[in-house]
A and B are shown apart, each in its own frame.
Chain A
């Protein structure tokens, strides 16, 4: 199991065990993290699972692909460390990953 932490906009920490191969978004939904809406259910077709990847993790998590960049155009307050959490797959290397939830989704 891989540990994940979501920090909600109000500062609340949500720590969870995530299965490798699942998406970061799926774990947010399973654990009812506030502020992750995932309207399209993980199809990279909305921008409502937007997160900021903690600076310590950006290199390991990697850059969004072109399709995800296109969807990020619709997100609120996009930063260089912005990602759509449905496009990040949990794996061993991400054990301890920290992501922050933005003030709002779109």
Chain B
């Protein structure tokens, strides 16, 4: 039997809004567990634009996206949330007692009385490169990550991209592959200079080929690749290719959320504006993923949404208990929870 992790509130997505939900729920003594597909908290703020300033966070005339994430983590630390990273929530089902069972793509099982979907633009997934006819080869000859290096042993490997992933795997797989061709559309890389130098040194020793250009075609049959056509500065080049690893960054996809029976509105989850609850009682949606009349995809709107959501979540988790509205500035009991006065 699989171990089941139990928590009060399961939050899908650890972006800024998911993180702040921990704070608002924590003030009402609800324990949170967050699951995110990335390997760290922050969502789009951390993945897409960590260095960029944000100018519309109240009280912060300018704060970098990563800076905001760091401050949020500091703010929610007293509530000791649990995090599970590198996982996508693949299924969500309602149990007979009204609670929810959530399963990840690695088959971990969670049970929670309340589920909060704070999944932003969906889950980050590897971007499919702009190569015509690539789909039938995916998962058979074309892979977007390396699970086992052995899977590449003895293969004619083509790696596409110019970032650290492309360079690291070029260097790591070169000793096991039969041949390695690195394809990038220009001779400048976004990767660590040391890796780039090592790559050029291997090319010098004819241990690998670096080809400037873009992959424009694939040949093969039944999912088995045999060669790739690269359009370079001097015309088309055909190189042997039985395995391909494209590294074209990440994109956001709604993913399995579409199948959770939440009556989507243009790929967004409709909620009411009192509780930010979905069509399924006990499942809430906050931040960029939800929709209601007048919705604005702003971080600050998400912060407001989680404050109201927390009230409704409390009523589900502690039915019958009177909810006292309090300010953190003046409430000793809230201050004890925040650890700013002695408990």
List residues of A whose CB falls within 8 A of some B CB.
39-40, 43, 45-46, 66, 69-70, 72-78, 104, 106
Query: In the complex the two chains form, is A77's CB within 8 Å of B130's CB?
Result: yes
**Contacts of A69 on B, CB cut-off 8 Å?**
186, 188
Instruction: Report the bound CA distance from A69 to B130 in whole Å.
Output: 17
Return chain B residues, CB-CB under 8 Å to A74: 127, 248-249
A62 CA to B248 CA in the complex, in Å? 25
Residue B184 interfacial (CB < 8 Å)? yes
Chosen A-B contacts, 26 in total, with CB atoms closer than 8 Å, are A39-B121, A40-B44, A43-B48, A43-B49, A43-B52, A45-B48, A45-B49, A45-B52, A46-B48, A46-B251, A66-B188, A69-B186, A70-B162, A70-B190, A72-B185, A73-B161, A73-B163, A73-B185, A73-B186, A73-B248, A74-B127, A74-B248, A77-B130, A106-B127, A106-B130, A106-B248
Chain A residues lying within 8 Å of B251, measured Cβ to Cβ, are 39, 46, 106
- Whole-angstrom distance between the Cβ of A35 and the nearest chain B Cβ: 14
Tell me if B57 counts as interface (CB < 8 A to partner A): no
Give the CA-CA distance A103 to B214 in the complex, in Å: 16
| Shortest beta-carbon contacts, A-B, top 7 | A76-B130, A45-B48, A43-B49, A45-B49, A70-B190, A74-B249, A74-B248
Residues of chain B within 8 A (CB-CB) of A77 are: 130, 214
Q: Are A39 and B190 in contact (CB under 8 A)?
A: no
B296 interface contact, C-beta 8 A: no
- Chain B hits for A72, CB < 8 A: 185
CB closest chain-B residue, reference A72 = B185
Contact B48 A78, beta carbon cutoff 8 Å: no
Complex interface: chain A residues within 8 A of B185 (CB): 72-73, 78
| Residue in contact with B252 in the complex, picked from A39, A43, A75, CB distance below 8 Å | A39
Residues from chain A with a CB closer than 8 A to the CB of B186 are: 69, 73
A74 to B127, CA, bound (A): 8
Interface size on B, residues (CB 8 A): 20
Interface string of B37-53 (1 = CB under 8 A from A): 00000001000110010
Q: What residues of A have a CB within 8 angstroms of the CB of B49 in the complex?
A: 40, 43, 45
If A43-B52, A73-B184 touch, whether A104 touches B161 (CB-CB below 8 Å) is no
B281 to chain A, nearest CB (A): 33
Question: Which residues from chain B contact A66 at a C-beta distance below 8 Å?
Answer: 188
Q: Which residues of A contact B184 (CB under 8 A)?
A: 73
| Cβ–Cβ < 8 Å partners of B162 in chain A | 70, 73
Question: Which chain B residues border A70 with CB–CB below 8 Å?
Answer: 162, 190
Provide the bound-state CA to CA distance between A74 and B52, in Å.
20
Please give me the residue from chain A that is nearest to B166 by CB atom. A73
Query: Closest CB of chain B to A54's CB: distance in Å?
Result: 21
B130 touches A104 (CB 8 A): yes
Q: Using Cβ atoms and an 8 Å threshold, which residues of chain A touch B48?
A: 40, 43, 45-46
